[in-house]
Amino acid sequence: MKRQKRDRLERAFAKGFQAGMCGRSKENCPYLNPDPRSQWLGGWRQGVDDRLNGIPIK
């Protein structure tokens, strides 16, 4: 049996987190649907907070 891809919402959060850590604008969110968009923005906020608090990129 093939492995399923990770949950799409989890992936959206992770991509948003990466964007926040790299200092990209939240206007660069690639999602239009509300659920993945909110997950991406949540990850972006967490990434920005971590970057501003000096947590190193893993």
Cα–Cα separations (whole angstroms), residue 54 to 1, 18, 36, 44, 51: 42, 15, 27, 15, 5
Evaluate whether residue 3 is within a structural domain.
no
Domain assignment of residue 16, yes or no: yes
The predicted pLDDT at position 16 comes to 97
> pLDDT tens digits, residue range 6-55?
689 999 999 999 999 999 999 999 999 999 999 999 999 999 999 999 87
How many domains is the chain built from?
1
Decide if 48 is inside a domain: yes
Domain of residue 47: give its range: 8-23+31-52
Q: Has residue 47 been placed in a domain?
A: yes
Contact 29, 37 (CB under 8 A): yes
User: Closest Cα partner for 12 from 37, 49, 48?
Assistant: 37
Asked if the structure places residue 2 within a domain, the reply is no
